Structure 1
Amino acid sequence: MKNLNTFYFLIILFILSSCKKDHTPVKPIDPDSTDSQIAAVSDSVSYTIDGKTYIANIRDNTIRFGNQSVNQKVVFNNNGTMDNFDIIGDKDSVLFYKESRTFSNSTSFSISFIKKFNKKDLSGVIVYSPPVKSILELYAKGKYQYAEDFGRENTENGIAILISANNKTYTSFVPLPLQKPTTLKPGFQNNSSFEIISFIKTENGGYNLEAKFNAIVVEHFNENQKKLENGYLRMYID
C-alpha cells in the first residue's frame, strides 16, 4: 500500500497560502547594543532572485514542528509499478524539524531547522520532541549546511528553505517525492552558505536570531535552478 507523504501536501498548502502587504525594509539587529534589556524583534527576511529583491515581514504565528523517518528508501511491491510502493526508514532514529514562516504580498519564506535524533533520547508519542536544550542548539551561532534530501532520504542535518516568489515555488532541497527520480546531484548546495551570526536572549525569555545566507533554489516540479543571493533573516524564537 502506498505510503503517503504528508510533507508534500504541506508544500501544496504553502503555495496556496494568502499574503498581505509589505511593511518597512529589514533592519539588522545591533549585537553591540548596550541596553540591559533586549526587546523581541519583528520577523523579517530579504533576499534577491534574478536581480529582484523580495522582502517579507509578516510573522505567521502557526506553530510548525514534526518528524520524518531517517535514511528513507522506496520499496516497490509486486510488479514494481510507480503506484505500488512503500517508503521505509530506520526504526530507531527520527528526524525532527521546527519551521518558521514570514510572508508579504510579494513573497513567502519558510525555514526549517533540522536534526536527526535517536528515538530513545526524545519524548512524545505522536510527535517525538527533543528537550528544550537540544531545540535551542538548532539555532546556535555558526555555519550550517543545507539538507538537500529533506523530505526524501533524510540523511542530513541542517537547513531547508521553501519560498514563493514571482508566482513560483522554490526549495533549497530536492522538490520531488522520493519515488520520483531527480536530475539534481548530491552536493548541488556545496557553494551555498547559511550562517547564524547572532542568537541573543530577550527580556521576555525568548531569543532574537539573525542570519545571512545564499543558496541554490529549485523550482517545484520542473527543478529549474535559480541563485538566491544577499539573504538576510531576522526572527524571534519563543
Structure 2
Amino acid sequence: MKINIFLGAAMAVFFFAACKKDNPLIEQPTTVKEDPLEYATDSISYSIDGTTYNLSKFSSFYSSSNRQPHSKVDSIVKNSYYISGLKDSVLYSRTYGIYNDQNKVDIIFIKTYAKASMVQALILRPKDVMDLFTVGSRNYAIDYGRDNIQNGIALRFSDGFKTYGSESFREPPKLSPDAQKYSKFEITSMEKLNSGTYILEAKFNAMVFNENNESKKIENGYLRLVMSYIDFAL
C-alpha cells in the first residue's frame, strides 16, 4: 500500500514538472510610470491690477555674473567713478529669463561668497551651485547692481519695472530700505526627477519700480524653473 502511494506521488510530481516545463511562467515586464513633470517647461505667472500674465512660450539659457560686493565710491576723477568693496569676496548672480511675444521677466538669484569657497569656471562660481536654490524664503535685494550688500532675489520686467533701485552711483538711491517690506519670495519645492532634471517652484509678490520711481504691485506670483545637470556644472 505504501509503495502505491509513493509511486502515485512520484508520478504526480513528474507530470507537474513536465507541465511546468512545457508551460513556463511568463514574467510580466515592469511598467515604469512616466512622470508628467519630465515635459514641464519654464513658466511664470503673476497679476497686476487684477490682470493675470502668463509667460511660458520661451525661456533663455541662464547667464551668470560676478560683481563687487559692498561697493562704494572711493573717488571721482574727471567724471570717472572709482569703486571698491570687499576684496576677499564675490557677489555671484544667476539670471533666468522667461518670455513670450510681448513680455519678458528676468529672475535673478543673488548671493555673496568668499573667494576661497568658489571655483574658477568661465567666471568664479560657488562650489555648490545648489546652495542658491534651497527651499525657503528670500529677501528682495533692493541694492542689486549698486551697493551689492544684500543677498536674495531680484525681478526685472521688460517694461522697465524691477524690484531694485538705480544701479548708478551718479544719482542717490531712489528706494527706501522698506520698499519691499510687505513683499515675499519663497522657493516652495526643489524636486529631482528620475532623469536627473530638477524642477524649482516658487511663489511671490513684490513691488516693482521704474526709473521715475513709479510703482506697481505684483500679486499671486508663481514661478517654475526646469534645470538640467548643466545648470549645476558650469
TM range (shorter): 0.7 to 0.9
Partner of 1:184: 175
Q: Residues 40 and 149 (structure 1 numbering): CA distance in 2 closer, same or farther, change over 3 Å?
A: farther
- What displacement does 1:60 show? 2.6
CA shift at 1:107, angstroms? 1.6
Question: How do 1:103-182 residues align onto structure 2 when only pairs under 5 Å count?
Answer: 103-124=99-120, 127-131=123-127, 134-164=128-158, 168-182=159-173
C-alpha distance in 1 between matches for 2:136 and 2:126? 20
SS in 1 for 2:129: helix
**Contact 1:40/1:204 (8 A) holds in 2:** no
Q: Percent identity?
A: 34
1:232 maps to what in 2?
222
Give the partner amino acid of 1:107.
N
Question: Deviation per CA, 1:85-120, whole angstroms, max 9, x where unpaired?
Answer: 212111101001111110012321110111110011
4+ aligned runs moved over 6 Å, structure 1: none
Is the Cα–Cα contact under 8 Å of residues 64 and 99 in structure 1 kept in the other structure? Answer: yes
Give the number of the structure whose alpha-carbon radius of gyration is greater: 2
What SS does the aligned partner of 1:138 have? Answer: helix
In 2, the alpha carbon distance for the partners of 1:217 and 1:190 equals 12
Q: Which runs of 5+ in 2 are unaligned?
A: 1-32, 229-234
SS of 2:116's equivalent in the other structure is helix
Change (3 A) 1:126 1:209: closer
- Separation in 2 of the partners of 1:175 and 1:193? 21
**Deviation at residue 188 of structure 1 after TM alignment:** 1.0
Which structure has more relative contact order (CA 8 Å, sep 6+)? It is 1
Match of 1:44 in 2: 43
- State the TM-score, normalized to the length of structure 1: 0.76
- Aligned partner of 1:7 in structure 2 is none
Q: In 1, Cα distance between the equivalents of 2:75 and 2:161?
A: 29
Higher normalized helix content (fraction of residues): 2
